A and B are shown apart, each in its own frame.
Chain A
Amino acid sequence: MPFALLKYGLSSKYPARRHFPKATDLKPAYDVVIVGAGGHGLAAAYYLVKDWGITNIAVLDKGYLAGGNTARNTAIIRSNYLTPEGVRFYDESVRLYQGLSEEFDYNILYSVRGHFTLAHTDAAMRTSRWRAEVNKHLGVDSELIYPDEIARLCPALNMSDDVRYPIMGALYHPPGAIARHDAVAWGYARYAGDRGVEIHTNTEVTGFVIENGRVTGVETNRGRIACGKVLQAVAGSSSRVSALAGFKLPIRTIPLQACVSVPLKPFLDQIIVSGSLHVYVSQSDRGELVMGGSTDPYSLYSTRSTLDFKEGLLGHMLELLPFLGDVKLVRQWAGMADMTPDFSPVMGKTPVENYFIDSGWGTWGFKATPVCGKRMAETVATGNLPALLQPFRLERFYEFEQVGEKGAASVGH
């Protein structure tokens, strides 16, 4: 019996709790400046406070709180990747996500649904089997299943052979989940803000002060601040900000679009992805079908939406769920994805001393929010890149040690 709730409800006063600290002027100096107040930047601030006791932090964002890709993703959380490096990394993230609402006392509406990556070709079946075996070897729950079991677990799916690409099997990942993406950012921000971290929105970084190869200050549209260390976490603007610091990245900025339908009665419990059909769908707790597909066919610094995207996506979606033919879309949007050559992130040290980077998150960033925050906080606090992040260092492109996750990261192929 929730007595506390009852007492609260019967009380004559309803104390409102401010989520985030009031906006203040910038101080002259901070120990750590985080550029980008999205999920990753705010998570890094949280873990810097919680794990390392560092609170003299400013998180800057040129826009509103977590208004970039954190606000625009389709909120899928999973660890069924292809490479051992990738699987270990995303598995730590899923484990952190599972306890997150409790840990920072903010409901992120974490909903375990089961994730199905449908295979429509022999090659896809082979890759699914490969991923299942790598996952199992590393303790991640994934299994290759066949049409009979898919039909049993996903009764809404069209399993008929009378389509262009019949379903041959699927990589089934039971821990696959969705969460409220905004709540993840707000939960991290609230905890950090309560403990002294300053969050400055509408504060754009216009340059860096670099002396003898080390960053010592940050120029913003509200003045200059001195800093001990900088963490860049600005998906969509990674190349632009790194250019201000004098180095380039192996990143191309390409829009990723998504859309939602009108709310429908719950009929789809699962998260369905099809690499061959370039579509994925889940049903939110409001009943909306949240749908996405591949990235746009060329680079663009814009979040505009297109008719081409809808046509391509929905044509294939109707192959999987034909009864949606008369359902209307209610909203369409896009984010700007940092696409890397190997579909893995770029994290860790940069050519500038005390300047750390968390970028290259392409279409795979939301699920990694907790592990990024935790491990980038560790990197910033200790100055050393932990073993878990070593595979994702910027240097890997010069050492020809890429972490190829194209098959597992997205449907853009």
Chain B
Amino acid sequence: MKIMNCPLNGPRNISEFVWGGEVKAMPSGTEVSPRDWADYVFIENNIAGVVREWWCHVPTSFWFIAERNTVTDEIIRTYPASEVFNRRVEFAAPAKGETK
């Protein structure tokens, strides 16, 4: 069996996890063109090498980030998402007359 080291639960059988795809930078701001949004949602880097990915430990619903080599399948590091996502993102559009 392949072991994934969950930051919350420790080393577990990889069958307990769901792969969430590449960590991608979400387009910022409230006026993102449909094309940029489609790029973000559908287009992948899909590189052969070390990537940063989302993983979810299903029994505990815990999402975290793993750095993995997509050629050798070596899991290099796992860490909580808060290491990367540590700033609040405002989604609300600014009120009329204000600028962001």
Decide if B38 touches A249 in the complex (CB within 8 Å): no
* Complex Cα spacing A279 to B58, Å: 23
* Complex Cα spacing A341 to B42, Å: 7
Instruction: With a 10 A CB-CB cut-off, give which of A243, A249, A252, A298 has the most chain B CB atoms.
Output: A298
Decide if B44 touches A248 in the complex (CB within 8 Å): yes
A-B CB contact pairs (8 Å), 19 listed: A239-B44, A239-B45, A240-B47, A248-B46, A249-B46, A251-B46, A252-B44, A252-B46, A253-B46, A253-B48, A253-B70, A299-B70, A301-B70, A302-B72, A302-B73, A304-B73, A397-B38, A398-B34, A400-B38
Tell me which residues across on chain A come within 8 A of B42, comparing CB atoms.
250, 341, 397
Chain A: minimal CB distance from B87 (Å) = 27
Query: Is B100 part of the contact surface with A, judged by Cβ < 8 Å?
Result: no
Query: Is A297 part of the contact surface with B, judged by Cβ < 8 Å?
Result: yes
Instruction: Given A297-B19, A301-B71, check contact A239 B47 (CB 8 Å).
Output: yes
The residue from A308, A397, A398 contacting B15, defined by CB atoms under 8 A apart: A308
Contact pattern, B 24-49, Cβ under 8 Å of A = 1, otherwise 0: 00000000001100110011111110
Tell me which residues across on chain B come within 8 A of A297, comparing CB atoms.
14-15, 18-19
Contact pattern, A 324-344, Cβ under 8 Å of B = 1, otherwise 0: 000000000000000001000
**Closest 5 A-B residue pairs measured CB to CB?**
A298-B19, A239-B46, A250-B42, A397-B42, A301-B48
The B-contacting residues of A in range 295-330, CB under 8 angstroms, are: 297-302, 304, 306-308
Chain B: minimal CB distance from A343 (Å) = 13
Tell me which residues across on chain B come within 8 A of A299, comparing CB atoms.
19, 46, 70
Nearest opposing residue in chain A for B14, CB measure: A297
Question: Interface on B for A, CB 8 Å cutoff?
Answer: 1-2, 14-15, 18-19, 21, 34-35, 38-39, 42-48, 53, 70-73
Tell me which residues across on chain B come within 8 A of A308, comparing CB atoms.
1-2, 15
Instruction: Given A249-B43, A398-B34, A400-B38, check contact A240 B73 (CB 8 Å).
Output: no
Tell me which residues across on chain B come within 8 A of A307, comparing CB atoms.
1
Nearest opposing residue in chain B for A299, CB measure: B70
* Complex Cα spacing A302 to B74, Å: 12
Decide if A398 touches B35 in the complex (CB within 8 Å): yes
Decide if A397 touches B43 in the complex (CB within 8 Å): yes
* Complex Cα spacing A308 to B44, Å: 27
